[in-house]
Amino acid sequence: MIATYDKPGHEHVRDRVRQSHLEYLEANVTKVIAGGGFLNDEGTSVIGGLILLDVETRDEAQAFIDADPFTAADLFERVEFVRWRMSFLDFKRIFPVAAR
């Protein structure tokens, strides 16, 4: 999982680069399980985002976000990586083995 948090006051950067970012995700759709924006409390502005990514290593996740046009545009204040095991998808349990 990659969580990104925008720099304050950078909505104009997000708006300017959004189309390139979406094209990048579409070009890499075989790696993207899910993704979307974090909204402010009022639901009026995107303030970051979440990408559930299907890769094996942290280095692959880092390379993925490094190549994102939002990164090149210096949009992010911070980026967090968390290893994640999918257990449920599409309202179904898909990983029946007990967690280790």
The confidence score (pLDDT) of residue 94 equals: 84
Residues 6 or more apart whose CB falls under 8 angstroms from that of 73 comprise: 13, 16, 17
Burial class (CB in 10 A: 0-12, 13-18, 19+), 20: middle
The percentage of the chain sitting over the pLDDT mark of 70, rounded to a whole number, equals 95
- Distance of alpha carbon 36 from alpha carbon 79, whole angstroms: 15
Q: CA nearest 81: which of 60, 56, 58, 63?
A: 58
Q: What is the pLDDT of residues 9-48, one digit of tens each?
A: 999 999 999 999 999 999 999 999 999 999 999 999 999 9
